[in-house]
Amino acid sequence: MSQYHLYLSLIPEALIASMLTPKEFGAYYAVGKKTRVFGEAIFFEVDPSFRSDDFPFHLADERCITQPNGAPKSSVYLGIHNILTRIPVSALGNLYLVTDDGRTLELQRAPYTVDTGNALHLYQEFCPVTPLVASRLEPLAFCQSITDRDRPVQVPRIVFSELELGELSTNPATGNADNLPYPAIPHLRDVLQDFAKNTKDSKLVLKTVKQGVLYRTVRNGFFVGDHDDFAYYRFPTRKELESEYYDWWRSAQVTHFD
């Protein structure tokens, strides 16, 4: 049995070995210890038996040892570039969402049912690219489209979440958008309305989301996959967030550090 955990961080992308549990690692990675570098974090726990010649696992074996003061080793970086594409979806375990003050929510894989309820969708991409994208495709179809090897523009694998569109999902022209915290709502309306005028499946809304992770607008969950493999991580319902996960949910709605 390995004496350390393997974590695939998405913000920023990295493969990290750590003796910390997921909850401890989330607090350490988002808030830090002495350096106090604040920021949200998202990471997968990777199957501890995963091995690949692409990564220097000997460093983890050598350095993940209890420190002289009795503390566990917090992190040993095994890679910082092009990590997601080199770890199969089958090796990814639970997904952890961390607020910028270090509170961690654990999501497990769940069965996915094709979403036929909305005509339009909004996706926040996390890795390996980070734009906000509108699409007429539901999550599974979107994942297969953006990773299609036959398309001139594609990525080999993608992690993303679906965000709430409210009334804009069916009525982008005049639907109520008062509760949507996205910047440039008129631009978002224009992008969504364009789907009625052309055959494009997806369109860029923002190159990057400057507010960070929009946890409070996640509609149904997080997704990871490519053209062959796909995994869904269900996000708690609002009722569950306000009862079972209240502390995390309260923290997720506040920006603690600018």
pLDDT of residue 33: 63
* Distances 18 to 8, 41, 76, 81 between C-alpha atoms, Å: 11, 15, 6, 18
The number of beta carbons lying within 10 Å of the beta carbon of residue 142 is 23
Dihedral angle computed from the Cα positions of residues 115, 117, 123 and 125, in that order, rounded to the nearest 10 degrees: -10
Residues 6+ positions from 190 with CB-CB distance below 8 Å: none
CA 146 from centre of chain: 16
Residuewise pLDDT in 10s, the chain (258 residues): 458 999 999 999 999 999 999 999 999 988 876 544 557 899 999 999 999 999 999 999 999 999 888 899 999 999 999 999 999 999 999 999 999 889 999 999 999 999 787 889 999 999 999 999 999 999 999 999 999 999 988 999 999 999 999 999 999 999 999 999 888 899 999 999 999 888 899 999 999 887 678 898 999 999 999 999 999 999 999 999 999 999 999 999 875 444
Read off the pTM.
0.93
Q: Report which of 228, 251, 233, 229 is spatially closest to residue 241, judged by C-alpha positions.
A: 251
Alpha helix positions (H), 134-255: 139-146, 185-194, 238-243, 246-252
Report the distance separating Cα 256 and Cα 258, nearest Å.
7
What is the chain's alpha carbon radius of gyration, rounded to the nearest angstrom? 19
Q: How many CA atoms lie within 13 A of 141 on its CB side?
A: 13
pLDDT of residue 87: 97
